[in-house]
Amino acid sequence: MTATHAHVASDHEASSVPRMPVGLPHEIAADHVDTEVRARFLTPDDPDWTNDGAATWTSGHVSGLTYSHTSGSDQLVLHNRGARDLGVLSTPELPGTDGTVFTHLPGGTSVDLPVAESHILQTARVGDRPVLVGQIVAGRDPESTEPLFMLDGPAPDEVDWAALDPDDVYWKPGDIDFGAPTAPQFVFADPFAHGVHHTRIDGEVALHNHGDSEVAVLTVGADGPLDLVVARPGESVPIPPGDAVCYVQTPRTDCSPTLLGVMWLRSGELMPSVLPIPSRRDHLDYHYLTPWSADWDCGYPQQIHLDAEASGVTYQYRTGADRMTIRNTGDESIAVIYNREGERVVAEVTAGTRMTFPVCADADTGQVFSVVGERVDSRPGRSASFASSGAVIPGTSGTPGTATNFGSVVIMLGTVVYSAVPKKNLYLAWSDRRRWLRRAAG
């Protein structure tokens, strides 16, 4: 694929949404695409799908798109809550187009995308011309391997606001208190307590919901309101570029709009806000001990030591391998601190997931993977409030509690030389998976 493809695009796991089978995208080869779908979308066998065939493409817009991504893994799930069907072209390795897989994503469904370096998003053809609405590039974040989303959101008056919020629980156009002469009596809530934070990768911003309840992002552009996207727990919302204000909300409180924060973007840059949304580093520091935490050098005596085996934290490593996996079968998230390319990075492993880490099998110095748990006894922050003058008084983020840890795994010359975390071989890991599947089926 040439740069033309990327240029056109850039111009512009427990969900209740119906979910396609996990293996389905990998099975949709060009000769298995439904005839009606083939006629509506650009597919890998189409003559226009070439390294320089972008001349026939046109640009478009997408609404209601969220995604789920397990940090440090290749797993990427798209959730399409918009009114339009989507088609995705997933290319394993750029710049070529060989091996491209097509995935059909109807409105109201979710699907696991195949592992690929690039995903091209499209809506149905207009006048026989394929309509590109965005591109996803895998693993562009050096810290979290978060995918990079580049897409254009809807134009003003393009979405059906009532359909986006049928239960009428979020603040949006059409509400009696939206666009009124006087501002509504907002209620403010602590974004840290709701597990909400943002990332910014190569200028592209995303809002992440790591909490236990839904949140929504209302985007308002220079020409008016643009979109309302609801993110369920574990989902993220890619924010289209451009000048916009994003109101991050929870459901109304006693009929009043409830704000977690406001993101103001100008020319793609995040500007200061009186109601800031935490960054990824802020989020990690609040929940875990990190290299940038104020208590990083406090020493083990000041930390709470946790039982890894009782908490369901294990690791897998085969002597001489270039990868090591840490598995979290417990009920709470953990974090792993390790060195990558000379820098300490932090990866969050949520409950019931696992993550694979790179290992230099011939390194003659110890590679340390420190596993920490969530902090305890954190003091909550203070939500923003209104002054008597009507101005907003910013809130505070609260104080991180006492750090916890499970210990470390140290690998040198392709051999585990120390471990405070129990090792689980492949057979036992599969046994755990089978038991989990039986519980889910019951």
d(CA 16, CA 167): 15
The sign of the dihedral angle between the CA atoms of 234, 62, 246, 215 is negative
Q: How many residues does the chain have?
A: 442
Q: What is the pLDDT of residue 300?
A: 64
d(CA 219, CA 150): 16
What DSSP string runs through 128-193? TEEEEEEEEESS--TTT-PPEEEE--PPTT-S-HHHHSTT--S--TTSTTSS-SS----EE--TTT
User: Domain spans of the chain?
Assistant: 3-282, 289-441
Q: What is the pLDDT of residue 19?
A: 45
Taking the mean position of all CA atoms in its chain, how far away is CA 129? Answer: 31
pLDDT in tens, 121-168: 999 999 888 999 999 998 766 566 788 999 888 888 889 999 999 999
Q: What is the pLDDT of residue 2?
A: 35
pLDDT digit of tens for each residue in the chain (442 aa)? 333 333 333 333 333 444 443 333 333 444 456 888 888 999 988 887 876 555 688 889 899 999 998 766 678 999 999 889 999 999 988 777 888 999 999 999 999 999 999 999 999 999 888 999 999 998 766 566 788 999 888 888 889 999 999 999 999 999 999 988 887 889 999 998 898 999 988 888 999 998 889 999 999 998 899 999 999 999 999 998 889 999 999 999 999 999 999 999 987 788 988 899 999 999 999 899 999 998 888 766 689 999 999 999 999 999 999 999 999 999 999 999 999 888 889 998 988 888 889 999 999 999 999 999 999 988 877 778 787 777 888 887 778 899 999 999 999 999 999 999 999 865 555 555 555 555 555 5
Closest listed residue to residue 249, CA positions, set 257, 241, 237, 240: 257
Q: What is the pLDDT of residue 426?
A: 56
Closest listed residue to residue 268, CA positions, set 217, 201, 218: 201
Q: What is the pLDDT of residue 402?
A: 92
Collapsed DSSP state (helix, strand, coil) of residue 54: helix
Phi, psi of 372 (to 5 degrees): -120, 155
Q: Contact, 347 vs 372, CB < 8 A?
A: no
Q: What is the pLDDT of residue 24?
A: 38
- Here the tokens at position 440 are 């889910």
Question: What single-letter DSSP state applies at residue 240?
Answer: P
Q: What is the pLDDT of residue 264?
A: 93
d(CA 212, CA 317): 32
Q: Contact, 304 vs 402, CB < 8 A?
A: yes
The sign of the dihedral angle between the CA atoms of 41, 45, 46, 48 is positive
Q: What is the pLDDT of residue 428?
A: 52
Q: Residue 358: is the preceding peptide bond cis (ω within 30°)?
A: no
Phi, psi of 339 (to 5 degrees): -95, 135
The angle subtended at Cα 117 by Cα 116 and Cα 120, nearest 5°, is: 85
pTM: 0.81
Q: What is the pLDDT of residue 104?
A: 94
d(CA 233, CA 210): 6
Q: Contact, 424 vs 327, CB < 8 A?
A: yes
Q: What is the pLDDT of residue 247?
A: 96
Q: Contact, 246 vs 219, CB < 8 A?
A: yes
Q: What is the pLDDT of residue 114?
A: 92
Phi, psi of 61 (to 5 degrees): -130, 155
- Here the tokens at position 297 are 């050098």
d(CA 122, CA 17): 20
Q: Contact, 264 vs 196, CB < 8 A?
A: no
pLDDT in tens, 162-197: 999 999 999 999 999 998 888 788 999 999 889 899
Which residues partner with 65 through β-bridges? 80
d(CA 112, CA 123): 18
Q: What is the pLDDT of residue 439?
A: 54
